[in-house]
Amino acid sequence: MGEAELKVVQRILFRLLLAAFAVNVTAAELPDSILSGLDATVIAAVADGDFVGGSYASGELAPLFAGYRDRLLLLRRSGDRWWREWLPVSNSVAAPPEVLTLSAGGRTAFVIERLAPRGTGASRIADLAPGRRLFAIALPPGAPATIADSVALGDYPEALDLSPDGRTVAVVSNSGGRSLLHLVPVADNRFAAPQQFDLGEMLEDGREIYASNIHWHPSGRSLAVNLNTRNRVLFLSLRNSDETFSLQPWGEPVAVGTDPFVGRFTPGGRYYITSDWGRDFGAVDLAGRLPEKPSRLSVIRLADPEASEPRHRLLHSVHSGQSAEGLAISADGHLVATVNIRGTPFPEQSPRFQRRASVSLFRFRADAGRLEKVADTPFAGILPEGGAFDPSGKYFLASVFEYRDREGGGIELFRVEEDGLRPLGRIAMPHGAHHIAIAH
């Protein structure tokens, strides 16, 4: 069979697949008339098949008989209709909600695995081996998604981000007291050899560090790394010559709130915002580790890129929600949201148990570098982590790992209004959805 004939067969099979997995238009789920309002062509999520919502409290993995699987979950748009598709891709909820990203236009998804898939006899979190792989998944229009390439990095990849020009994936990993930054060139969905940097050697202080987030500056000339166990953000300047990268610290690391788990540059690159979860890393159980007080957001003003002695500075800090994990900034930079797991991972008999999670919505005043809370919006769901605005900024989506009143996970959809978020309903997903990315 020639290449042309093969492509025809693939397209026929893909249309059959779309028909089989079409989004059901029922009263229990969102109708196409609402989904069609989203300014998006691809909605991607990842699902972890090894954990359940109570795994953090019990240490136990999902029972094998449940049949859960690690997957990349896709909603792809064709005109005004949305179609489901998923394929097996190893990933883990035991990482920040920064393990998935889409290229501009949604033609490629990138995923990292923090923990490897469970082996024979594994029944507890401690039984899982470290993950190492970065995946590129091709999403060609009119054809099925396929894993195009993968590459091995350091143990326990933690977070990733794609450069603004789409040519380099940055990944941070943590193992044996070392935090490594990997820069992986990518072209036509194929990876070139990664280049590795030891973040501890850059800091030159001999102390153990842990990196929980990596994010590219919109210029593509610098990166931010959240050192959450040190309550600091490290900024790095980057040079690239003949596919060889060089990195060096850009100013001094900036002290923020406790446990700055994730972070984002604002669209213009003038500010960097962190979500400071506030966990106690010395605690021996979930109740001790998760804070009872609200998390915080911190706003850092970036130094002038041309300054000979760059000095970034913390401008502002504000309460968000309890156990805020996911962070999103709208495309125009006017809105910020955190996804707050609150007490949903605790067993129902625990005094810390809460049945509802929440999303905190803020307006961002770029002229002053300040955040103003609009509202907290509660919703039912266990262990929601990731969230994203659609490109128009009119809708917000949050991933939900599990529900107490129904099987599986989901994506909660909200409309952004002047006084907060209006819940519209949920998109049913397989068990374990824990991060989300959207492409126009």
Domain harbouring 48, CATH code: 2.130.10.10
Distance CA 44, CA 30 (A): 17
pLDDT of residue 83: 86
Q: Rounded distance, CA 306 to CA 205, Å?
A: 26
Mean pLDDT for 51-70 is 95
Closest Cα to residue 171, out of 249, 105, 94, 223? 223
CB 314 within 8 A of CB 274: no
133, 117 Cβ separation under 8 angstroms: no
Count: domains in the chain: 1
pLDDT at position 33 is 62
* Strand locations in 166-218 (E): 168-175, 178-187, 190-191, 195-198, 213-216
Residue with tokens 């079409």: 22
| E strands present in 320-386 | 324-329, 335-340, 356-365, 370-380
Range of the structural domain that residue 109 is part of: 3-439
Helix (H) or strand (E) holding 289: helix 286-289
The three-class DSSP label of residue 314 is strand
- Distance between CA 269 and CA 146 in Å, rounded? 33
Whole-number Å distance between alpha carbons of 209 and 120: 33
Pairwise pLDDT comparison (14 vs 312), residue with the higher score: 312
Tell me which residue of 115, 133, 109, 101 sits closest to 51, measured CA to CA.
115
Please spell the DSSP secondary structure of 51-75, one letter per residue.
--TTHHHH-BPPPGGG----EEEEE
Mean of pLDDT over the chain? 91
Is a pLDDT exceeding 90 seen at residue 378?
yes
| pLDDT per residue as tens digits for the range 145-172 | 999 999 999 999 999 999 999 999 999 9
Provide the token pair at 146.
């396929």
Instruction: Show Cβ contacts of residue 20 under 8 Å, excluding neighbours closer than 6 positions.
Output: none
Supply the pLDDT for residue 60.
Answer: 96
Give me the pLDDT at residue 207, please: 84
Collapse the DSSP code of 73 into the 3-class scheme (helix H, G, I; strand E, B; otherwise coil) and give the result: strand
pLDDT tens sequence across 224-265 = 999 999 999 999 999 887 778 999 999 999 999 999 999 999
List the one residue out of 274, 270, 249, 248 whose CA is nearest residue 260. 274
How far apart, in whole angstroms, are the C-alpha atoms of residue 117 and residue 115?
A: 7
Edge-to-edge, what's the strand order for the sheet holding 395-400? 387-389, 395-400, 409-417, 420-429
Model confidence, pTM: 0.92
